Chain A
Amino acid sequence: MNRHEIKEVIEKSIRTETEYEGAIKESMAANDIEGWDSLAHVRIIFRIDHHLGTQVDLNATYATNTITDLIELFVNEVE
């Protein structure tokens, strides 16, 4: 799975769990997306993990600042 495909999975998971309808840019942080609270964060990660077949360390996801960081985290995990 390439970076673009991983990015799509992440975006879709964010939209499903937050029901956010606006544009999602890689530079955005959780605070920029309505409905992305601490429980939504865990649910987003569960969903991404489920689709990518990964099991990331949740603490590592908390350390990400932007969606780019999150994509890179999963790209490394998939590799």
Chain B
Amino acid sequence: MYDLPVYLLESGHMDTQCKYLSKLLESFEHKPEIEYSVVISNGEEKKITWKDLENECQSIMNSLKGIEKGVVLIFLRHSSSLHGAFFGTMMAGHTPSFMPCTSVKQDPALYWASHQKLLNHIKPTAIITSKDVSQEILQAKLELGNTKIIHIEDIEIPESKINIELRSEDEIALLQHSSGTTGLKKGVALTFDAIVKHAESYSSAISIIEEDTIVSWLPLYHDMGLMACMIMPAYTSTPVIHMSPFDWVGKPHLLFEVIEKYSGTLTWMPNFAFEHMALYAPRMPHNYDISTMRAFISCSEVCRPESFDKFFNAFNEKGVEKSMLHTCYAMAETVFATSQSTLNRKAKRILVNQRDLNRGEYVRIYDENESSLETPRQLIETGSIIEGLEVKIVDEDFKSLPELTIGEISISGTFIFDGYYRMPDLTNERVMNGSYMTKDLGFFDSSGRLYVLGRVDDLIIVQGRNIYAHQVEALVSTLEGIKPGRISAFGIYDPRIGSESMILVCEVENGQSSEESQKIKSTINKLLQSTIEVVPKKIRLVTPGWLVKTSSGKVGRKENKEKHLLESRGGK
């Protein structure tokens, strides 16, 4: 039980206290001058104390006065305003959700038009945004209904402090928009109870201590950025240094610069980022002291040992040790982390035969020096299951499988999501008898370490972004020149970037000129860049009849992927 700040005791909400918000209020009350966070943008650093955060929250609560309680979407670019906007919305009794804004490479008209379906589905009571973003929304002529637009530039601190709306633990705290193209994104609903239990369990798994400082370039609309680098550390009062993802991608050395300056100890990033950092290594302006680091944690896409090796080889001289490289298996549906490798110990690797890695098969582990394997593959653990969750590996009939046998990963426990927002059918499809069916394939070894291999369904994870093939196909199907429904999208692992790339095969009418083909490809690229911010690695325009159909008459992704790979290798 936490001591409640004085003004809460006076507010008369004692019987419905919410542990998460109470913890934030405790920090407002007891450490107003202590640093909550530092936000770095365009080379400028803005320090936010707990008092600053409280003032920002109060201003947001002030601006939300009189607005019907509901979902509030936050469309803000990387800035210090993000935190107050989110927590202030929560404290005003609304449900916040961060949403991405347009990037420089996206067409604003296409981007915002693709949001109409999402807005119709969510019916947000308010949108918190900046004036420049709001201008884009207005120009796109979105139908907003009764949704109120709040400009972050216009918010004002109230003359007298507004009481925080403490809510019950089982109320929805926030929506985390997960996989899906813009129009069909799933809002993962998480209760206060779930985010508290996750924060307590995960912070214990990584042994968060008072001296820790988290360094992050992750966007807050992504579950890894939101949960590992904002929701959990706010609860544990761990300072976070936030960089802009756009700044980091162009100048990866900024991560080390910030670690050195702020004595960073923890950071999370997807697999491709380890490769990106290693690629950039020769351009590092100077040696940084990153000896304070406890862990670089790989998450959000399948962790690859070879990416760790490149990162280690590139930065070993700068102080990166193998014991600093860690793995985590996470998803929004379990708030964030499901498993975590043990810090201060090297993540375990095993040698297997790629040919054994099929659903239902037993995985034989070979001696690391075994050289007779034709298709050797090294796997890295994603750690042990964190407290509060139970994970089973199941077959197609949902029966538990023994260790070292590949099956679907199913998760139950005390911090599973509350369902997809206003999507009961989808929720029922994915939650069976209280267990969330992840559609990820994996297995346990004999010591209870989890290994994650890939997907059961058509999800393609491109640089940490979740893209469903069927949704890409539906988007492209609307374009002129493409035969509707005659498209196949699939992912292929690209070892150069350490992530999957998307391949798109589309049937087009016979007799297309090269100019017409080029125009179709450019239109596809522009549409996908502007709506899902992922462009295919390759677009193959093929003649009618090329795509393989399954026995049920559908375009088969697996079959077409095999056909594409065979032809790419020169086969018939």
If A38-B103, A39-B276, A46-B279 touch, whether A32 touches B249 (CB-CB below 8 Å) is: no
Contact indicator B249/A42 (Cβ below 8 Å)? yes
Contact indicator A58/B525 (Cβ below 8 Å)? no
Any B CB within 8 A of the CB of A36? yes
Contacts of A50 in B (CB 8 A): 282-283
Contacts of B539 in A (CB 8 A): 34
Contacts of A39 in B (CB 8 A): 249, 272, 276, 463, 497
Contact indicator B105/A41 (Cβ below 8 Å)? yes
If A43-B279, A49-B283, A58-B250 touch, whether A37 touches B522 (CB-CB below 8 Å) is: no
Contacts of A49 in B (CB 8 A): 283
Interchain nearest-CB distance for A1 vs B (Å): 19
Contacts of B522 in A (CB 8 A): 29, 31-32
Contact indicator A34/B525 (Cβ below 8 Å)? yes
Interchain nearest-CB distance for A18 vs B (Å): 8
A25 nearest CB neighbor, chain B only: B518
Complex CA–CA separation, A69 to B9 (angstroms): 63
**Count of B interface residues, CB-CB < 8 Å:** 28
Partner of B538, one of A35, A46, A62: A35
If A31-B526, A58-B250 touch, whether A38 touches B518 (CB-CB below 8 Å) is: no
**Which one of B447-455, B474-482, B528-536 is at the A interface?**
B528-536
Complex CA–CA separation, A58 to B463 (angstroms): 19
Partner of A31, one of B104, B276, B525, B538: B525
Interchain nearest-CB distance for B307 vs A (Å): 14
Any B CB within 8 A of the CB of A67? no
Contacts of A45 in B (CB 8 A): 250
Any B CB within 8 A of the CB of A19? yes
Contacts of A37 in B (CB 8 A): 529, 534-535
A56 nearest CB neighbor, chain B only: B250
Any B CB within 8 A of the CB of A52? no
Complex CA–CA separation, A29 to B521 (angstroms): 12
Instruction: Give residues of chain A (11-35) contacting chain B, Cβ–Cβ below 8 Å.
Output: 18-19, 22, 29-32, 34-35
Partner of B535, one of A36, A58, A59: A36
Interchain nearest-CB distance for A41 vs B (Å): 7
Contacts of B105 in A (CB 8 A): 30, 38, 41, 62
Contact indicator B537/A46 (Cβ below 8 Å)? no
Any A CB within 8 A of the CB of B546? no
Complex CA–CA separation, A79 to B279 (angstroms): 26
Interchain nearest-CB distance for A56 vs B (Å): 10
Complex CA–CA separation, A35 to B538 (angstroms): 6
A35 nearest CB neighbor, chain B only: B537
Complex CA–CA separation, A29 to B537 (angstroms): 16
Interchain nearest-CB distance for B236 vs A (Å): 32
Complex CA–CA separation, A50 to B282 (angstroms): 9
Complex CA–CA separation, A38 to B534 (angstroms): 8
If A43-B279, A46-B283, A50-B282 touch, whether A35 touches B535 (CB-CB below 8 Å) is: yes
Complex CA–CA separation, A49 to B279 (angstroms): 13
B273 nearest CB neighbor, chain A only: A39
Complex CA–CA separation, A31 to B521 (angstroms): 8
Contact indicator A31/B282 (Cβ below 8 Å)? no
Contact indicator A34/B279 (Cβ below 8 Å)? no
Contact indicator B518/A32 (Cβ below 8 Å)? yes
Complex CA–CA separation, A42 to B273 (angstroms): 12
Instruction: Give residues of chain B (507-550) contacting chain A, Cβ–Cβ below 8 Å.
Output: 518, 521-522, 525-526, 529, 533-539
Any A CB within 8 A of the CB of B501? yes
1/0 contact string of B255-292 vs chain A (CB within 8 Å):
00000000000000000100010011011000000000
Complex CA–CA separation, A37 to B282 (angstroms): 23
Instruction: Give residues of chain B (436-481) contacting chain A, Cβ–Cβ below 8 Å.
Output: 463
Interchain nearest-CB distance for B491 vs A (Å): 14
A61 nearest CB neighbor, chain B only: B250
Contact indicator A42/B537 (Cβ below 8 Å)? no
Contacts of B283 in A (CB 8 A): 46, 49-50, 55
Complex CA–CA separation, A55 to B276 (angstroms): 17
A17 nearest CB neighbor, chain B only: B496
Complex CA–CA separation, A55 to B537 (angstroms): 26
Contacts beyond the supplied A19-B538, A34-B536: 11 A-B pairs with Cβ under 8 Å: A18-B537, A31-B525, A34-B539, A36-B525, A37-B534, A38-B533, A39-B463, A43-B497, A45-B250, A46-B283, A63-B104
Can you give 29 A-B contacts (C-beta < 8 A)? A19-B538, A30-B105, A31-B522, A31-B535, A32-B521, A32-B522, A32-B525, A34-B535, A34-B538, A35-B501, A35-B535, A35-B536, A35-B537, A35-B538, A36-B535, A37-B535, A38-B103, A38-B533, A43-B276, A45-B250, A46-B279, A46-B280, A46-B283, A49-B283, A50-B282, A58-B251, A59-B250, A62-B104, A63-B104
Question: Residues of A at under 8 Å CB distance from B?
Answer: 18-19, 22, 29-32, 34-39, 41-43, 45-46, 49-50, 55, 58-59, 62-63
